Amino acid sequence: MAELSNAVDIANAVRNGSVSAVAVLDQYLARIDARESSIHAFNLVTREQARSMAAKVDADVKAGRDPGPLAGVPIALKDNMCTRGVPTTCSSRILDGWKPPYDATVVTRLAEAGAVFVGKTNLDEFAMGSSTENSAFGVTYNPHDTSRVSGGSSGGSAAAVAAGFAAASLGSDTGGSIRQPAALCGVVGVKPTYGTVSRYGLVAFASSLDQIGPFTVDVRDAAVLLEAMSGHDPLDSTSIPQPALSLQASLDRDVKGLRIGRITDLPGGSDSEVEARLAESFDALAAAGATIVDVELPSMKYGLTAYYLIAPAEASSNLARYDGVRYGLRVDAADTNAMYMATRAAGFGDEVKRRIMLGTYALSAGYYDAYYGKALKVRRLISDDFARAYQKADVLLTPTSPIVAFPVGAKVDDPLSMYLCDVFTIPTNLAGHPAMSVPFGTGAHGLPVGVQVLAPTLGESVMFQVAAHLERVAPGGAK
């Protein structure tokens, strides 16, 4: 059987009966067996569940039933998405032994579309990090160079696709946790508009920022997955009351006449080769008939500061539920308060504790207005700046990450340096807009570089239109 690498081709082959879902799964499991020990993309490989799902897809095809647009596609799930009866750890000891009694909405929707779930992927604990070095279960390594990080927090999901362990995967993005690892691993990663994909069943980090999105090998696959995942969900109070996104029609449109925004006051600090790839992306779009327009986002430089007050504040509230009483780890102690302290001390890692303390301080009496309240005002300024920029431009382009994948251990003792990896991705989360990372050539050490395409609220169609063109003209990888 010829190897099929992308989701659309796999689904088409399975639906027309030219290949079985079980045979496709066997290929992917063989790749996992060959390389997973050196990459550690997964916390759990769900072999038996995957075989059962693949067999059901094949039975539907044999019976003349259409299994769906993702028929037989092996998909990996970030281990902060609830899967009924399957351990969901958030890569934290505090959830030791917990098996959710329900599926996240995105899990249900992809299963209904015919997907086959191959496992739960590693992440920075509770999605707090930019390198997947903060996991309680060890580091996920970059498939392009296993001495380097895969990015984070969804590093396991990005690595799983880059290594060919899954045709696609799901991640969550609170401040860049899909787009940054996508860039570092050389795959496509999408953060949709806040509210277009249900968060029901996603273990919360920062509820006003979290959003689920796909990792794929190409832009078309990302469009198909997002179409299957999106749409209103009454179980999520923040879900936008609209039907599923329709994206595939935009992929083959040219970019002639589109206005592409170049941010003139973009924060500095990017590698020269990353900046060169961004310049080439503007040149490629201009050569195709797009107009490059200069825009300013003066408050963008404050995004990192505002984020690291808002996100930890929400995290300190969301993570208060992990107390050793209802589920997960429990460390016995002399009294209830001592048990709370002992459980949290043993169950949470250093980065999670750091952010809980930051957030608790920012929300405390006497400091709320000075820190959290001020950060919310900056969030509004960022949204207003984006609104003005989108009056002039249809989309904006930035680097996804200012640097390529860095060596494992290089930034673990310097949290501020680690946080700066998300300087270009965080503002979009604060505004609630869509953004995606598209592989666009390589940088230092021959490692992947991602260009980030940003669009206004519900602007996924034009965002995918531009991303598809960039994919076609990408250096060394024209499609």
Exposure string of 141-160, with b = 16+ CB inside 10 Å and e = fewer, is bbbbebebbbbbbbbbbbbb
Instruction: State the sign of the Cα–Cα–Cα–Cα dihedral 4, 9, 15, 17.
Output: negative
pLDDT at residue 2, rounded to an integer = 61
Helices (H) and strands (E) in the chain, counts: 15, 13
DSSP 130-142: SSS-S-TT-PPEE
| Cα separation, 215 vs 43, whole angstroms | 18
Instruction: State the sign of the Cα–Cα–Cα–Cα dihedral 115, 119, 121, 126.
Output: positive
User: Is domain 259-300+380-473 in CATH 3.30.1920, yes or no?
Assistant: no
Q: What is the pLDDT of residues 365-390, one digit of tens each?
A: 889 999 999 999 999 999 999 999 99
147 is known as an active-site residue: no
| Cα separation, 115 vs 379, whole angstroms | 37
For 54-95, strand residue ranges (E) read: 74-78
Q: What is the pLDDT of residues 197-218, one digit of tens each?
A: 999 999 999 999 999 999 999 9
415 band by pLDDT with thresholds 50, 70 and 90: confident
From first CA to last CA, the distance across the chain in angstroms is: 23
pLDDT at residue 268, rounded to an integer = 87
Q: 20, 78, 131, 299: which is the annotated catalytic residue?
A: 78
477 band by pLDDT with thresholds 50, 70 and 90: low
Q: 20, 92, 153, 154: which is the annotated catalytic residue?
A: 153
Q: What class, spelled out in words, does domain 7-250 have in CATH?
A: alpha beta
Q: 130, 157, 177, 299: which is the annotated catalytic residue?
A: 177
Q: What is the pLDDT of residues 121-149, one digit of tens each?
A: 999 999 999 999 999 999 999 999 999 99
The pTM of this model reads 0.97
177 is known as an active-site residue: yes
374 is known as an active-site residue: no
pLDDT at residue 479, rounded to an integer = 40
Whether residue 454 is predicted with pLDDT greater than 70 in this model: the reply is yes
Do 7-250 and 259-300+380-473 fold alike per CATH?
no
Is 471 in contact with 451 (CB distance < 8 Å)? no
Q: What is the pairing mode between strands 291-295 and 212-216?
A: unpaired
Query: What average pLDDT does this structure show over 21-46?
Result: 98
Percent of the chain with pLDDT over 90: 96
Q: What is the pairing mode between strands 259-263 and 291-295?
A: parallel
61-63-66 Cα angle (round to 5): 45
| Cα separation, 353 vs 340, whole angstroms | 14
| Cα separation, 294 vs 381, whole angstroms | 19
What is residue 412's DSSP assignment?
T
Whether residue 478 is predicted with pLDDT greater than 80 in this model: the reply is no
DSSP 180-245: HHHHHHTSEEEEPPTTSB--TTBPPSSTTT--EEEEESSHHHHHHHHHHHBS--TT-TT--SS---
Break the chain into its structural domains and give their ranges. Answer: 7-250, 259-300+380-473, 305-369
Q: What is the pLDDT of residues 262-300, one digit of tens each?
A: 999 999 889 999 999 999 999 999 999 999 999 999 999
Contacts of 460 (CB under 8 A, 6+ apart): 192, 193, 196, 226, 245, 247, 434
Q: What is the pairing mode between strands 116-121 and 74-78?
A: parallel
| Cα separation, 430 vs 428, whole angstroms | 5
Q: Give the DSSP H/E element, type plus range, for residue 283.
A: helix 272-287
Burial of 342 (0-12, 13-18, 19+ CB in 10 A): middle
